[in-house]
Amino acid sequence: MKMNKINLLRILIPLVAVLVIAESIYLVASLVNKNKVAVEQVNSPVSENQMNISLVSEAEKYLVGEPFLVKVVMDAQKDVLVDAVNLYVQYNPGQATVSELTSLEALPQPTFAKISDKKDMIVLNYYIENDGYAFLAQQPIEVASFMVTPTKLGEIKMDLSTGIEDKDSVTMIVENGTSLVVPFISNSLSIEVLE
């Protein structure tokens, strides 16, 4: 009986070791692939201009069921003409409902505007014809707005999708004439929901 246990241990210990090594290799390979995607995005041709995109609400705390307005505000650090603006705002539909998506008068009407429950995103795609749209330095422009109604206690987080979670939903600004991607800085809007 004692001999059987020793033989069993001689088999199990190397088997467990092989499984641990295989799992480690898999995890390292996954991390390397994720880093590759990030490096490829960084290496895509970009403009020297830079934009700021902000999600803005009047307050940081609201009550359950109390609707509030969120605005999407864009401004350039230097004057820039753009051909296209694709905005993808992520949110958690389990925390809030989103309604009344409105494109404000600054940009032309979007070619596509939707609140997508399937992807948990607000989508605004603008394609500007002719000479592009001019964002002037340090002159914020309110691009769009939508209503958010908290449905339960906790925290509502909203931010722009950069394509890491969903490669089909990448917030992007394209410079007029060069077709270069204009890099941007954005905030993450956090709202505390109280009873």
12 and 75 assigned to the same domain: no
User: Do 110 and 186 lie in a common domain?
Assistant: yes
Query: CA–CA separation, 160 vs 172, rounded Å?
Result: 10
Residues 176 and 102 in one domain: yes
pLDDT tens digits, one per residue of 101-156: 998 877 888 899 999 877 789 999 999 887 888 999 989 999 999 999 999 999 99
Distance CA 100, CA 113 (A): 11
**pTM for this entry:** 0.73
| Average predicted confidence (pLDDT) for the chain | 80
Number of domains the chain contains: 2
DSSP state of 108: P
Looking at the structure, do residues 25 and 81 belong to the same domain, yes or no? no
Confidence tier at 2 by pLDDT (50, 70, 90): low
Q: Are residues 120 and 182 in the same domain?
A: yes
Q: What is the pLDDT of residue 60?
A: 93
| 91 and 178 belong to one structural domain | yes
Three-point CA angle 81, 86, 90, nearest 5°: 140
Give 16's pLDDT tier (boundaries 50, 70, 90): very low
Range of the domain at 135: 51-194
As a whole number of angstroms, the distance between CA 102 and CA 171 comes to 18
Same structural domain, 37 and 57: no
9 and 35, same domain (yes or no): yes
- Flag whether pLDDT at 27 surpasses 90: no
Could you tell me if 34 and 72 lie in one domain? no
Most confident of 67-71, 114-118, 133-137, 176-180: 67-71
Q: Which residue has the higher pLDDT, 180 or 107?
A: 180
